[in-house]
Amino acid sequence: MGAQPAGHPTPHTVIAYIIRRLLGAIGLLFVISAVTFAIFFLLPRAAGMTTDQLAARFAGKAPDHATLVAIEHRFGFDKPVAEQYWQFVKQLVAGGTYDTGTRTLDCPAPCMGYSFRTNQPVLQTVIDRAGVTFSIAVGGAILWLLSGVAIGVLSALRKGTMFDRVSMGVALAGVSLPVFFTAELSQAFLVHKWQLMPDVNYVNFVSNPLQWAQELILPWITLAFLYAALYARLTRAGMLDTLNEDYIRTARAKGLREKTVIIKHGLRATLTPLLTVFGLDVGLLLGGAVLTEKAFGLKGLGMLALDGIGSSDLPVVVGVTLIGALFIVLANLAVDILYAVVDPRVRLS
């Protein structure tokens, strides 16, 4: 093995960089959890809400006072908020236990507690739901990246033609139309009226990959329609800028094949800003494709978060928020590392 070329990151540099970023992410996650806790507990109290009123959300109709007191005690609402947060942090780092009434369950670290509503471990629920969100996000991302970049490149190469104008017009429509609109429309016509596509459901990839893809194709297309539009426009703009650069002219003058010029020299430079957007988009979607899941009734992290907020289920809300934040942090980290691969001018320092 020869010496590393000057300027290229060594494995040591990369590992140190990743560790540094992950430590920063952990600090960020604690801040996010504290803020979520404060929103859940401190803001209502500041607005005058009592612990009885908080407990009443988890009781049946017309609850008596004894019921409210018992619920306050079980969920810890009768303790100071700082103490409740400390308990949360402690079980996250060191694990905790959960009393079902008949037995005490271990909740190993990172323990995110148990749902106030379903009495299920939050981490397990989040992992269970993450499969749905992951399937939506990954399938959609592949589709929008491939189609968006391809359309963007072709539009740039055929600037001013009918293809360019039509594809950019469609792209504008895609960016403008919200997911819940296209989802409603596509389901009403493609699924129910014309029955060209199956009902949208989630089937585990491992149990039946073909059905998994068949039943998620509509959410993928809907997502891709929205995102591909943006990527097509970004790619087109980037390509047009790049193709006017001197080094492209030099490459052509050197007699390189047009395909090589376009892909290796033109597209590569365009990919850097696209990577940034792509990382953020995928990270956000992995944290919960709220609108897409809601529009198609898919039970992923987004729906879990929505249900958690709607039912005042704090452990679930905090759990999904933390996981969502983690996905965004990891996606950004991956993008930063990929920068160094795509663009040699970028250094991991």
Partner 1 sequence: MKSKIMALAGLGLVTSLGVAACGSGSSSSSGASGVSYDAATTGVVNPSTHKGGTLNFGMAGDVDSTDPGNTYLALSVDFDRLYVRPLTTYASKPGQAGGTIVPDLADGLGVPSADMKTWTFKIKKGIKYEDGTEVKAADVKYAVSRTLDRGVLGNGPSYFTQLLIDGSTYKGPYKDKNQADFKGVTTPDDYTVVFHLNTAFPEFNYVVAFGQTAPVPQAKDTGAQYALHPMSTGPYMWQGNYTPGKGGTLVRNPNWDASTDPNRKQLPDTINFTAGMKQEELDQRLISGTMDVDANGTGVADAARQQILTDPKLKANADDPYSGFSWYLPIDTEVIPNVNCRKAIIDGADRDAMWRAYGAQYGGEMSTSLMPPNISGRQPSTLYPVKPGDHGDVAKAKADLVACGKPNGFAVNISFRSERPKEQATALALQQSLAKVGIQLTLKGMPATTYTTSQFGSHTFNKSNNIGLGTYGWAADWPSGYGFLNALTSSAAIVDSGNSNVTMLKDPTVDAAWKQVVTLNDQAAREKLYNQVDNTLLEQAGVLPNVYAKSLDYRSPHLTNVLVQGYYGMYDYANLGVTK
Q: Of the ranges 2-10, 15-23, 50-58, 153-161, which one interacts with partner 1 (CB under 8 A)?
A: 50-58
The structure tokens listed for 290 are 């709220």
Q: Is 71 in the site for partner 1 (CB under 8 A)?
A: yes
The CA-based angle 327-330-335, given to 5 degrees, is 125
Q: Is 301 in the site for partner 1 (CB under 8 A)?
A: no
Binding partner 1 (rule: CB under 8 A), the pick from 21, 74, 158, 252 is 74
Q: Is 120 in the site for partner 1 (CB under 8 A)?
A: yes
Residue 253: other Cβ atoms inside 10 A: 8
Select 118 or 176, whichever has its Cβ closest to partner 1.
Answer: 118
Give min distance, CB of 71 to partner 1, in A: 5
Interatomic CA distance for residues 301 and 179, integer angstroms: 17
Helix (H) or strand (E) holding 340: helix 314-342
User: How, if at all, do strands 96-99 and 104-107 pair?
Assistant: antiparallel
Q: Is 330 in the site for partner 1 (CB under 8 A)?
A: no
- For tokens 């005490």, the residue is 104
Q: Is 101 in the site for partner 1 (CB under 8 A)?
A: yes
Select 239 or 305, whichever has its Cβ closest to partner 1.
Answer: 305
Q: Is 210 in the site for partner 1 (CB under 8 A)?
A: no
Q: Is 64 in the site for partner 1 (CB under 8 A)?
A: yes
* 260 Cβ contact list (under 8 Å, min separation 6): 251
Q: Is 259 in the site for partner 1 (CB under 8 A)?
A: no
User: Judged by CB under 8 A, how many residues of this single chain contact partner 1?
Assistant: 53
* 10 Cβ contact list (under 8 Å, min separation 6): 4
Q: Is 214 in the site for partner 1 (CB under 8 A)?
A: no
Concatenating the DSSP letter of every residue in 29-47 gives: HHHHHHHHHIIIIIHHHHT
Select 56 or 280, whichever has its Cβ closest to partner 1.
Answer: 56
Q: Is 199 in the site for partner 1 (CB under 8 A)?
A: yes
Q: Report the sign of the C-alpha dihedral through residues 274, 279, 280, 282, in that order.
A: positive
Binding partner 1 (rule: CB under 8 A), the pick from 117, 158, 159, 252 is 117
The structure tokens listed for 314 are 């704090």
148-187 positions binding partner 1, by CB under 8 A: 184, 187
Q: With H, G, I as helix, E, B as strand and everything else as coil, classify residue 97.
A: strand
Q: Of the ranges 100-108, 139-147, 277-285, 337-345, which one interacts with partner 1 (CB under 8 A)?
A: 100-108
Distance of CA 330 to the CA centre of its chain: 10
Q: Is 115 in the site for partner 1 (CB under 8 A)?
A: yes
Interatomic CA distance for residues 314 and 341, integer angstroms: 41
Q: Of the ranges 23-31, 111-119, 157-165, 338-346, which one interacts with partner 1 (CB under 8 A)?
A: 111-119
* 188 Cβ contact list (under 8 Å, min separation 6): none
Q: Is 60 in the site for partner 1 (CB under 8 A)?
A: yes
- Whether residue 346 contacts residue 340, with contact meaning beta carbons closer than 8 Å, is answered with yes
Q: Is 61 in the site for partner 1 (CB under 8 A)?
A: yes
Give min distance, CB of 85 to partner 1, in A: 21
Give min distance, CB of 29 to partner 1, in A: 24
Strands (E), the chain: 96-99, 104-107
Interatomic CA distance for residues 148 and 139, integer angstroms: 14
Binding positions for partner 1, rule: CB under 8 A: 44, 48-50, 52-68, 70-71, 73-74, 99-103, 115, 117-120, 184, 187-188, 191-192, 199-200, 294-297, 299, 303-304, 307, 310-312
